[in-house]
Each structure stands twice: as structure tokens, then as C-alpha cells.
């Protein structure tokens, strides 16, 4: 059974420059700022706790620098927490950047294979789902055009189609799902509902409150790396 349990998560990192040479930082960098006497320290996450179970769709909200993207990257394993405990049960995929894992010169069809291999899927799994991915993306003949020729909406549709057609048990997304036309957004919402109904978990960070209201059943509000509210 898939689940996410975060207990008092903390992430502190040191700015590389020495204190006397460091550029001035502002709260927009996320979290709070301190020093260790020689270097500036940024506390990006501080005491973050929550628990998600199968079927949950969590919306992360808060101003720029609140720690939403940092939390997603901790959940995905890009950052290791400095303190606390994180337990994740289930296969995780993430959409932080629509260009991540795609080659600009390769066609959309070739990028389906490349992105799948990066995510750990074997060639047979990818080949078996390729036509379904292409159909869902609505790219038509553009699937055999270079990725660099795609608009932002086209690139978003391809990335979303690949990630969700191969059914991750836990899907992490950051903001960009608002790209694309209204009809595709509605289709994407239905796909996310289907994933959640198949005992999946979705964590979506966005400033679009209407999107989160339509998509999510739980909300985690963050401010300066701390949890302001969890419902």
C-alpha cells in the first residue's frame, strides 16, 4: 500500500560563499537565514510533518520561497533531509520541469523511450504503452518532429502523458500542469483522478487555487519552510 509519512522534516544548507563575501539574501530564497559564524545557513524546511495514504491528492500552497518545491525534491530523494524522518512506500515519479529528461534534437517519439529509460522502465514496458502515450498527448504528426519545435503546452502534454500512462504509484508535480488548453487540463484532471483511485498519491504544488480545489482533497500550506496549516 502506498503512503508518505513525514516527521519533523528539516533541511538546512550552507551558502558556499564566506559570510563576508556572500550576496545579500532575501526571504524569496525560501525558509529562514542564519549563520554558523563563518557562512550563511538557509533553513529551507523546518519541522514539516504530514501523512498521506492511498487515494490522497495533496495541494501544496504558499508564496514564492515558502518551501513547496524544496519539499517536493525531498520527497523525490533529490535532497536528503538534515533532520527528521521520511518514509515513502511506492514507486515515485516527478514532474518538476517539463524539459527534464528530454533531448531537444530528438523527436517526441524518441523522447518517450528516453524519458522512460531514465525513469527506470524497461524497453518492453515503454513500447507497449507508446501509442497510448501518443494518443493521450494529442500531438498527432508532431510526435515525429524534434522536441525543440514544441510549444510549452505541447511539451507539457507529452511529459504528463508519459509520466501518467506508465502509472506511477506516487506522482509529484510542480505548477506547470496549468499549461495547455482547457480541454487538456480537464482530461489531465480525469487522469489524476484515475491514478488516485488506483491507490495512488499525488502531490501538486501550485499558485492556482482553483486548480488545486478541483484536483486535491487535502491541502498543506507553507510559509518560510514551515507548515502553516494541513487539512
The residues spanned by each domain of the chain are 53-218
* Model pLDDT, residue 177: 57
- Residue 33: the pLDDT is 56
Tell me, what's the pLDDT at 1? 85
* Mean pLDDT for the stretch of residues 68-82: 93
Place of cell 519541522: 47
In the prediction, which pLDDT does 22 show?
45
Instruction: Using a cut of 0.85, tell me whether the model's pTM lies above it.
Output: no
Determine the average pLDDT of the residues in 66-93. Answer: 93
Q: State the CATH architecture for 53-218.
A: 3-Layer(aba) Sandwich (3.40)
18 or 39: which carries more pLDDT confidence?
Answer: 39
Whether the per-residue pLDDT at 153 is higher than 70: the answer is yes
- Return the percentage of the chain with pLDDT > 90, whole number: 48
Query: By C-alpha distance, which of 73, 59, 1 is closest to 30?
Result: 73
pLDDT surpassing 70 at residue 134 = yes
Among residues 214, 190, 208, the alpha carbon closest in space to that of 60 is found at: 208
- Cα 218 from Cα 56, distance rounded (Å): 7
In sequence order, the 6+-apart residues with CB closer than 8 A to the CB of 43 are 10, 11, 12, 31, 32, 33, 34, 225
Report the mean per-residue pLDDT for the chain: 84
Is residue 133 a contact partner of residue 161, using CB atoms and an 8 Å limit? Answer: yes
Distance CA 172, CA 207 (A): 15
Amino acid at each position: 500500500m502506498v503512503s508518505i509519512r513525514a516527521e519533523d522534516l528539516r533541511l538546512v544548507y550552507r551558502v558556499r560563499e564566506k559570510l563576508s563575501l556572500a550576496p545579500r539574501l532575501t526571504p524569496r530564497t525560501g525558509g529562514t537565514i542564519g549563520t554558523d559564524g563563518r557562512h550563511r545557513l538557509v533553513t529551507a524546511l523546518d519541522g514539516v510533518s504530514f501523512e498521506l495514504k492511498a487515494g490522497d491528492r495533496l495541494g501544496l500552497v504558499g508564496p514564492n520561497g515558502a518551501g513547496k518545491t524544496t519539499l517536493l525534491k525531498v520527497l523525490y530523494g533529490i535532497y536528503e533531509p538534515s533532520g527528521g524522518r521520511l518514509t515513502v512506500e511506492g514507486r515515485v515519479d516527478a514532474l518538476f520541469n517539463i524539459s527534464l529528461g528530454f533531448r531537444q534534437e530528438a523527436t517526441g517519439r524518441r523522447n518517450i523511450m528516453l524519458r522512460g529509460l531514465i525513469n527506470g522502465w524497461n524497453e518492453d514496458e515503454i513500447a507497449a504503452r507508446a501509442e497510448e502515450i501518443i494518443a493521450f498527448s494529442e500531438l498527432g504528426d508532431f510526435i515525429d518532429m524534434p522536441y525543440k519545435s514544441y510549444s510549452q503546452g505541447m511539451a507539457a502534454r507529452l511529459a504528463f502523458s508519459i509520466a501518467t500512462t506508465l502509472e506511477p504509484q506516487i506522482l509529484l508535480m510542480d505548477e506547470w500542469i496549468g499549461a495547455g488548453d482547457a480541454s487538456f487540463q480537464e482530461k489531465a484532471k480525469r487522469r489524476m483522478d484515475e491514478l488516485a483511485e488506483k491507490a495512488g498519491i499525488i502531490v501538486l504544488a501550485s499558485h492556482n487555487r482553483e486548480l488545486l480545489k478541483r484536483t486535491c482533497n487535502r491541502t498543506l500550506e507553507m510559509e518560510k519552510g514551515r507548515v502553516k496549516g494541513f487539512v
